Chain A
Amino acid sequence: MTSFRKINRVLLADKIQTSVWVIAAYLAAIVLSLIPTAFNGELFSSHWSGYVMARALSWSGLALLLAFIFLTRASEKVYTTNKYRLIPVSDTKLYGANLFSSFVAFILVFLIPIIFMLLYYLFNVKTVNRIVNSSFAGLQANIWLFLLGILLVGIAGLLFWWTTVSLIHLLTTAISRALPANNQKFYKAVIYIVLIYLVVWMFGKVQNWFSQLAYLQYMLGSSSIYTQPMWTALLLFVLAVVISVVNVLLMNKQVETKQ
Chain B
Amino acid sequence: MENALSLKGVSYKRNRRVILANINLDVAQGTTLGLLGENGAGKTTLMRSIAGVAKGAKGTITVKGQTGTIERKGLVSYTDNLDGFSRGAKVADIIEFYASVYPDFDQDKYRELSDFLDFGDTTKKIGELSKGMKEKFVISLTLARKAAVYLLDEPFEGIDSMTRKKIINSLIQWKAAESVLVISDHYVTEIAGLLDEVAIIKDEKLIAHEKAEKIRENGNSIEDYYEGLYEKGAADNDKL
A binding-site residues for B, Cβ under 8 Å: 1-2, 6-7, 9-10, 77, 81-90, 177-181, 184, 252-259
Contact = CB atoms under 8 A, between A and B. Distances in A.
Interface stretch (B1-9, B46-54, B157-165, B196-204): B46-54
Contacts of A84: 84
A181 B54 CA distance: 16
7 contacts: A2-B101, A6-B100, A81-B84, A83-B82, A83-B83, A86-B51, A86-B78
B17 A256 contact: no
A85 B56 CA distance: 15
Contacts of B70: 1, 88-90
B84 to A, nearest CB: 3
Contact of A256 (B44, B55, B102): B55
A16 to B, nearest CB: 13
The 9 closest A-B CB pairs, nearest first, are A83-B84, A81-B84, A88-B74, A88-B73, A181-B15, A82-B83, A256-B55, A82-B80, A87-B101
Contacts of A9: 100
Contacts of B55: 252-256
A259 B100 contact: no
B74 to A, nearest CB: 4
Given A1-B70, A86-B52, A254-B55, 19 more contacts: A2-B102, A2-B103, A10-B97, A77-B84, A81-B84, A82-B78, A86-B51, A86-B53, A86-B80, A87-B102, A88-B70, A88-B71, A88-B102, A89-B70, A89-B101, A178-B16, A254-B56, A256-B56, A257-B84
Interface in B88-126: 97, 100-103
Contacts of A89: 70, 73, 101
Nearest to A182: B15
Interface size grouping (class) on chain B:
20 to 34
Contacts of A180: 15-17
A20 to B, nearest CB: 14
The secondary structure that dominates the A interface is loop
Contacts of A256: 48, 53-56
A256 B53 CA distance: 6
Nearest to B17: A181
B41 to A, nearest CB: 14
A4 B17 CA distance: 37
Contacts of B170: none
Contacts of A184: 15
A81 B83 contact: yes
B67 interface: no
Interface string B145-165: 000000000000000000000
A256 B49 CA distance: 10
Contacts of A81: 83-84
A230 to B, nearest CB: 38
Nearest to A174: B55
A71 B178 CA distance: 43
Nearest to A93: B70
A86 B141 CA distance: 13
A84 B82 CA distance: 11
Contacts of A252: 55
Contact of B74 (A1, A7, A255): A1
A2 to B, nearest CB: 5
Given A81-B84, A177-B15, A258-B83, A6 B101 contact: yes
A109 B2 CA distance: 54
A88 B73 CA distance: 5
Contacts of B48: 256-257, 259
Contacts of A7: 101
Contacts of B16: 178-181
A32 B52 CA distance: 50
Contacts of B102: 2, 87-88
A15 to B, nearest CB: 13
B22 interface: no
Most chain A beta-carbon neighbours within 10 Å: one of B71, B83, B103: B83
Interface in B3-43: 14-17
B45 interface: yes
